[in-house]
Every structure is written in structure tokens, then in C-alpha cells.
Amino acid sequence: MALTKSETEHLISEISRELGAKRDGGYKNLICQCPFCKKEGKFGIYVGKETERKKLFMSHCFSCGASTYTLEQLLETIGRVDLMVTPVADLSAKLEPALLFPLESEDKIDDSLAIIELPDFYRRTFSDSYLKSRGFVFDDYEYFPAGTTGRLNFRYNDYVIFPVIDQGDTVGYVARHIWSKDEIEKHNRRAKLRGEYRIMRFRNSTENDFTRLLYNYDAVIEDETDTVIIVEGIFDVVALIRKLELYDNKQIAVVATFGKKISLTQIFKLQSKGVETVIIGYDGDAVDSIKKAAGELGRYFEVLIADIEDPAKDWQDLSYTEIYDTLAYRLKTPLEYTMTKIQQ
């Protein structure tokens, strides 16, 4: 396609304006509502450097799978043939949409989510002795909805339930038993001998796979939040936000990946909101998991690792000063991190 630089720039700005599109994190795609299925944030138009397989203005929808291969097709689709500059329509160029976006070359991204129901009799709480024992303060109840079913739903007796929200919808929940791991194990050993019921530490929702979910995802504001700290669990999110008072900070968000791994869908979810920097805040003892996550994230974001000095501690155990020092003086690039871990 023989477009001059200024023609290309003009087209990109006109198409962006027409579709209300935003650049993705890697600056290679325009992301907007799909003109075919109308799904928000799922349609990508390639505007990066042309390669053998990736051509300028090829487009693809991550939701419905619709694709266009030429500028002309794209302009027709969006009803802006008036923008056509050169009579180029290379329809013979068969291109695999799977090769369009680096994300898709590995796995098909399916980030569709079902809206789910919380357990029967769920009621939000603003004061709970278990949450208080985990450090919850007034603002935490406000920002991180949690609740119980009281005694009305025996399955969830002694569980605290955290809804997982995505674009305002409840798409999952984590239900955690209020006993400690040791207490539960002790009980279960006895229960086994007596043939009684065993207690599950977690009784989470099952409708949506947790690799598609991020806890506190709605705190990532499209094109405002540039840095996201990823941590393992809900209590890490709450602890970090409470201790650093990040409640209303739109530039920095903290999300949990529900474990020490990040999936391509979770990466896509962050990238589609324009996040540029990801700080890995997994527990200090998770060295191999951290290195692996850094490698995967490094293809899409600026990556830094918050190297918690004491490997036995997580964000919940650290004081304000320790957290501050970690984020101020112990942020490492993946290379620096690998070097220190070799030396130790």
C-alpha cells in the first residue's frame, strides 16, 4: 500500500475520530467498538509498522471474529469511503487474522464473561469481625464490597464473600472461610476420622474461569491509569491500597490475578485499557513465577518487579515504611531482578 507518511497519519486520526478509537498499550493498534457486533473495546485496527503479514489498517474483532484486510474494506465498513486516498484494493492478499495481533498468535483470546448471581441471601457488610481482624477499615468496606449470607445459606456459613466486578457487572466471587488454614486442616483431619464434613477453605464461583478475571479491574480507568501493580490475592490489593492510600488514585491501580500467574486474557484486559507499566508484586518467595510473568508481560508493557526484601512476607505483613521502601528503592527491571536472584 503506497501511502505517504502524512496520508497515513491523516487516515489514522480520521479513523480514530470516526470510531472514538484509542491506541493500545503497544501503540500498534487502534482499539474501539466493533462496527460489526458493537462490542466495546474489542475491535483492533493495525496501525503499527508493516511486516510481511501485518498490513496497515487490517482490522479484527476479538469478540465476533469479523475482519477486514484492506483500507478500502475498512473504510466501507465504517462508512467513510470518502477517506480513500489511493485506489488500492489488494483483495488477493489473504491474511490470517490470527497473525494480526501478537496476542492472538499464541492462544485465542476469549474474554467473554457471564454475569453471575451471588450466593442466595448474600448481604453486603460494612462491619465484620473477620475482615476487621484482616485489617479492614471504613474505606475498605466502601471500596471493596464484601458480604456474608448470615445463617440463611448453610453452604456459606462462616465464609466471607467478595464479589468480582467487571465493568460494573458481578462476574465471579471469592468465598473464603474465616478460619485460618491451620484450623481448617486440623478440623479436616478430625472430620476424616469421624466421617464428618470437611471444610473447604474457598468456595468460589465456577461460572467464569478465574484466568479471565482480575480483582479490582474497574479501578483501571481507560487512558487514565498508566501503571498497574499486580498482586496475588484480594487481601494484597486491599492492604496495598489501604497502606498507600491509593483509593482514589486514577494513575495507579492495584489488581489481583488470583495466584502467581497472569494469563493472556488478563494481559489483554490491561492492554485494552491503555496501561503502559505493570509492576509485579507477587510474594517474595515466588521467584520463578515472577520471572515467568515478567517474560510474558514484557512483550506488551514496561515491566518492573517490586522485590520485597523479606521473601517470607507479603503486602499484608509489610508496614507502610516497608512498602514505601519496596516501591521507592526496590523496583527492578526483569534483568536486574534475575541478576540479584542469581547472586543470592
Q: Are 176 and 160 in contact (CB under 8 A)?
A: yes
Among 8, 18, 36, 261, binds Zn ion (CB under 5 A): 36
- Cα distance between residue 6 and residue 58, in whole Å: 19
Dihedral angle of Cα 239, 245, 251, 253, to the nearest 10 degrees: 10
- Of the pair 79, 87, the CB lying nearest Zn ion is at 79
Position 33 contacts Zn ion (CB under 5 A)? no
- Of the pair 39, 134, the CB lying nearest Zn ion is at 39
How many residues touch Zn ion under the rule CB under 5 A: the total is 6
CB of 272 to Zn ion, least distance (A): 14
- Of the pair 98, 339, the CB lying nearest Zn ion is at 98
Q: Which amino acid is at 180?
A: S
CB of 41 to Zn ion, least distance (A): 11
Residues of span 163-202 touching Zn ion by CB under 5 A: none
Residues of span 49-108 touching Zn ion by CB under 5 A: 61, 63-64
Query: Which one, of 108, 304, 321, lies nearest residue 212 by Cα?
Result: 108
Query: Which one, of 109, 108, 104, lies nearest residue 46 by Cα?
Result: 104
Question: By CB under 5 A, which span of 31-39, 94-102, 261-269, 304-312 interacts with Zn ion?
Answer: 31-39
Cross-sheet strand order for the sheet of 123-124: 123-124, 147-148, 159-166, 169-177
**H or E, element range at 29:** strand 29-32
Position 19 contacts Zn ion (CB under 5 A)? no
Angle, CA 200 vertex, CA 199 and CA 201 arms, to 5°:
115
Helices 320-329 and 234-244 sit at what angle, rounded to 10 degrees?
A: 90
- Of the pair 63, 257, the CB lying nearest Zn ion is at 63
CB of 276 to Zn ion, least distance (A): 26
Among 11, 34, 241, 279, binds Zn ion (CB under 5 A): 34
The site for Zn ion (CB under 5 A) is made up of 34, 36-37, 61, 63-64
